[in-house]
Amino acid sequence: MPNSLNREICCYCGALAETKDHIPPQSFFTPDEKKSIQLITVPSCFNCNNSASASDEAFKVISGLCAARLNKCSPDYAKSVRKTLLENNKLKSLLVNAENINEHEKKILIPTKIKENFNSVIERIVRALYYKEYGSILSVKNLSVDILIGFDIEHTASLIKNKNTVISFLKNINFYSLKRKIVQENVFEYRYSIAKDAIDASIWCLLFRNCLLVTCISLPDSAGF
Ligand SMILES: [Zn+2]
């Protein structure tokens, strides 16, 4: 959102924005997708935009592994993920011998370091989408992230319901009442809602490649979660 000097501020830290950041990160898309999809951009300062490439690659590989495991990985995306992995020895060695995906429990078991990277990308996406949808910076420090493989609406619905007892703003929310935006069918869509009576309280369900569903809840820091 332009400030009074008509300069844009970084949607992550509030500094002057010199660049545009892509959401999800550009590396998530195949070359063909980049040409055909209207990618979301948000204003970002140079530091915030350039501090995330290692995380972006981890995110790309994890979403690729999920898609592959569920046979939802297009040949183009598989090729793109393979290339990233071949060029990133550090990431490759972290993943070797790791039990990456426990499909039965619909949970991703990934090495801690990669999980930190993955979560940091999710956090960035949520902060960017919050800014895009509401025109202000999400100032809350901690976001709770729940990762699911498979488009498991029922689990997400029960997750939201379970949180109802402790988080008042979720009381009248269910998965189907969330606002839905489709960026590109089978590539990326998201659902969201914001509390009307509590600044910084919001819920985001991000669906990547129709198989990786990530729910993210932000709460005011004062809520103690
Ligand atoms: Zn910044």
Find the 149 Cα to ligand 1 centroid distance in Å: 31
Domain encompassing residue 213: 135-223
Q: Per-residue pLDDT for 201 more than 90?
A: no
Q: Is residue 83 part of a domain?
A: no
Q: Per-residue pLDDT for 106 more than 60?
A: no
- HSE-up of 145 (CA within 13 Å, CB side)? 23
Find the 17 Cα to ligand 1 centroid distance in Å: 7
Find the 45 Cα to ligand 1 centroid distance in Å: 4
Find the 142 Cα to ligand 1 centroid distance in Å: 17
CA quadruple 149, 152, 153, 158: dihedral, nearest 10: -90
Q: In this predicted model, which residue has the larger pLDDT, 137 or 110?
A: 137
Q: Is residue 216 part of a domain?
A: yes
Reported as a single tens digit per residue, the pLDDT across 152-188 is 777 777 777 776 655 666 666 777 788 999 999 989 9
In this structure, the chain runs to a length of 225
Find the 204 Cα to ligand 1 centroid distance in Å: 21
Distance, CA of 214 to CA of 125 (rounded, Å): 11
Q: In this predicted model, which residue has the larger pLDDT, 23 or 200?
A: 23
CA quadruple 24, 157, 152, 54: dihedral, nearest 10: 30
Q: Is residue 151 part of a domain?
A: yes
Find the 19 Cα to ligand 1 centroid distance in Å: 10
Distance, CA of 106 to CA of 66 (rounded, Å): 10
Find the 221 Cα to ligand 1 centroid distance in Å: 20
Q: In this predicted model, which residue has the larger pLDDT, 110 or 105?
A: 110
Find the 51 Cα to ligand 1 centroid distance in Å: 10
Q: Is residue 174 part of a domain?
A: yes
Q: Is residue 152 part of a domain?
A: yes
Find the 49 Cα to ligand 1 centroid distance in Å: 7
Q: Is residue 122 part of a domain?
A: no
Instruction: Give the residue among 96, 89, 107 at the shortest CA–CA distance from 145.
Output: 107
Find the 50 Cα to ligand 1 centroid distance in Å: 10
Q: Is residue 117 part of a domain?
A: no
Find the 201 Cα to ligand 1 centroid distance in Å: 21
CB 129, CB 121: distance < 8 Å: no
Percent residues over pLDDT 90 in the chain: 31
Q: Under DSSP, is residue 129 helix (H, G, I), strand (E, B) or coil? A: helix
Find the 106 Cα to ligand 1 centroid distance in Å: 34
Residue with tokens 């204003």: 43
Enclosing H/E stretch for 133: helix 112-134
Q: Which two tokens stand for residue 195?
A: 């509390």
Q: Is residue 210 part of a domain?
A: yes
Find the 56 Cα to ligand 1 centroid distance in Å: 17
Reported as a single tens digit per residue, the pLDDT across 45-85 is 999 988 777 788 888 888 888 888 777 888 888 898 888 88
* Domains held by the chain: number: 1
Find the 105 Cα to ligand 1 centroid distance in Å: 37
Q: Under DSSP, is residue 112 helix (H, G, I), strand (E, B) or coil? A: helix
Distance, CA of 102 to CA of 177 (rounded, Å): 30
Average pLDDT of the chain to the nearest whole number? 82
Q: In this predicted model, which residue has the larger pLDDT, 141 or 182?
A: 182
Instruction: Say which amino acid occupies 120.
Output: S
